[in-house]
Amino acid sequence: MTSAQQPLTGKRVAILAADGVEDVEYTQSRAAAEQAGAEIHLVSLKPGEIQSMNHDVNPANRYPVDRTVDKADASDYDGLVLPGGTVNPDRLRMNSDAMAFVTAFFQQEKPVAAICHGPWSLVESGMVKGRTVTSYPSLRTDIRNAGGNWVDQPVQVDNGLVTSRKPGDLPAFCEKLVEEFAEGRHAGQLASV
């Protein structure tokens, strides 16, 4: 592949996920970034492996954790992916290290991509205020209550923040994820901090 086909060559991307992550949202976003040339690290709450799920109820696969969030530093990464599933982001938002990790990407003006229930971490960390985002429809009220503008679209981009609603939106999500991560820092990310 040429550098135009691998626009993320030389970039390192963190995927923050815990047990209960929706398998297809993890695997497809990871594959898109890897195919674009990025080095990927799975960052989680505990060492070992995480258990992914299909549709929140059926165990899918286990994936090795590269780094625990308490040892991870946003300055080591060029972008952050927050896949969904309902259990995964619910666990993440209860962990102060995970929320500090998410916030640091915005403080450092780095692109972030969240799909489905992944934006719960954005709500918990206060990073949706004044932003236009989409998510799984059940998060609509949470996002509005946190000061965000919720829209019902397959993908929404707001100054380096990429959001999507559900697994069916993965093609659009992955395309915009690669595009925004390739662009690099976005000063607009500071609007949330």
Active site residues: 116-117
Q: How many CB atoms lie within 10 A of CB 138?
A: 11
What is the per-residue DSSP string for the chain? --TTT-TTTT-EEEEE--TT-BHHHHHHHHHHHHHTT-EEEEEESSSSEEEEEETTTEEEEEEE-SEETTT--GGG-SEEEE---SHHHHHHHT-HHHHHHHHHHHHTT--EEEETTTTHHHHHTT--TT-EE---GGGHHHHHHTT-EE--SSEEEETTEEEESSGGGHHHHHHHHHHHHHH---GGGGGG-
For residue 59, what are its two tokens?
Answer: 């165990």
